[in-house]
Structure 1
Amino acid sequence: MRGPGGPELFQLDREAREIAPGAVHVPDWLSLSEQQELVAAARLWCSGSARLRHQRMPGGGVMSVKSTVLGQSWPRYKVQQAGRPEALPERLGTLGVAGVSRAYGQDSPEAVAFEPTTAVVNFYDADARMGMHQDLDESGPDPIVSISLGDTCIFRLGNLEHRGRPYQDIELKSGDLLVFGRSSRWAFHGVPAVKAGTGDASLGMRNGGRINITVRSTRHDRR
């Protein structure tokens, strides 16, 4: 299913597991056909005023990752595009709810309460990285649903206090689901490396790279 990328270094059994309290990794959550459909849809969603851009940070630096926001945005979020659709694509809303249900159970309080409003789409080429950060733009405790497409990345999940150790590294491959909420909702996390050439050519990503879609709720002020 996937192209060559050298030996696997992490989670050789590829079983669904809780990697930290409230952080659940489900390998191969999406089938190849579902991944292909999502890549094609993302190409349409991330066009026009919602096209992917290198965003400028408050300090003046420019992110190596390209990104855009679909659906409801945040007043202080820096990705602002005139004419950007305010409605979250229905497909992503459905995936968001399904992801929380898969991670915690469909009758869990998180799955029952989750009302996705927003998706951040990030594109990583072979040289792109994401530094350690906390997702603080949302005011409520709802979990983050992360879906990976294309090249494998190393995802680093850290602690709640700072960017340094302790942290752990996990391989996220195309089709993998990662949900982090509960005790891990405010954990520092980042992507220190992308393994170029590991994505399946049939996904339709001509130049390779990794697409990461994170579905979240910005609706409630419940933190």
Structure 2
Amino acid sequence: MSEGLFPRERVTVAPGAVHVPGWLPFALQRELVDACRAWGRGPVPYRQTVLPGGGVMSVRSLCLGRPWVPYRYLDTVGVPVPDRLVELGREALVEAYGEHGGFTPDTALVNFYAPGARMGMHQDREERSGAPVVSLSLGDRCVFRFGNEENRGRPYQDVDLASGDLFVFGGASRWVHHGVPRVFPDTAEPALGLVGRLNITLRETGLGG
């Protein structure tokens, strides 16, 4: 996708929250899209998550490593987090913070946003580790709403995420509410071979074992 007249700049959105546009080279984006398809055809297919109140999330998700279900992690481990994703997670933290601090994600949540899908405001709070969250975007552009720790409303900032973008949040921003209120259809580079948006989120659960 074209950057337009003005290139997008790296931004520190809040203390500990860093947006790096275009961080993933296009060839690596293609590789990750293919990997996401392959994982979905294996033992961890994409599913729509049913929330405890009976609601069904509009995104479809799969989880590598320690599985997440609302709102906890299971004790089992299915398909381990691939070494390449662990390496990418560490490279991402070096890019964002200058060091990775031994980051070893033991869960990778992959969300697929088909046309019309979105994600409500929520916190990633089931982890016992305070390690940062690493988010990689592929495919269609979206509005990523980055809020506050106290509630799902204002104040918040809307960040434009495009394919290849890196977003890291940790430190003072680790527990803030965030969500995706809108995805813009048909905004991905056609050569990527993806209709919709994929988001790969790497985390340390801190649960051990």
Tell me the TM-score normalised to structure 2 length: 0.92
Contact 2:65 2:77 in 1 (8 A): no
Contact 1:55 1:79 in 2 (8 A): no
Contact 2:110 2:201 in 1 (8 A): yes
Distance in 1 (alpha carbons) for counterparts of 2:93 and 2:164: 15
1:47 to 21, 38, 41: 41
1:203 to 187, 192, 202: 192
Tell me the amino acid that sits aligned with residue 91 of structure 1: R
Moved more, 186-195 or 48-57: 48-57
Residues 118-157 of structure 1: pairs in structure 2 closer than 5 A: 118-157=107-146
1:213 corresponding residue in structure 2: 200
Identity over the aligned pairs, expressed in percent? 51
Q: Find out whether 1:103 has 2:96 as its counterpart.
A: yes
Q: CA deviation at 1:69?
A: 0.5
1:93 to 83, 86, 91: 86
Tell me the TM-score normalised to structure 1 length: 0.86
Q: Find out whether 1:167 has 2:156 as its counterpart.
A: yes
Q: Which runs of 5+ in 2 are unaligned?
A: none
Distance in 1 (alpha carbons) for counterparts of 2:71 and 2:43: 16
1:54-101 CA-to-partner distances (Å, cap 9, x unmatched) read 110011100000001101235865687x9932x111111111111111
Q: Find out whether 1:64 has 2:53 as its counterpart.
A: no
CA-based RMSD of the aligned residues comes to: 2.3
Contact 1:55 1:78 in 2 (8 A): no
Give 4+ residue runs of structure 1 displaced > 4 Å after superposition.
74-80
Distance in 1 (alpha carbons) for counterparts of 2:36 and 2:116: 21
Distance in 2 (alpha carbons) for counterparts of 1:219 and 1:22: 19
2:103 corresponding residue in structure 1: 114
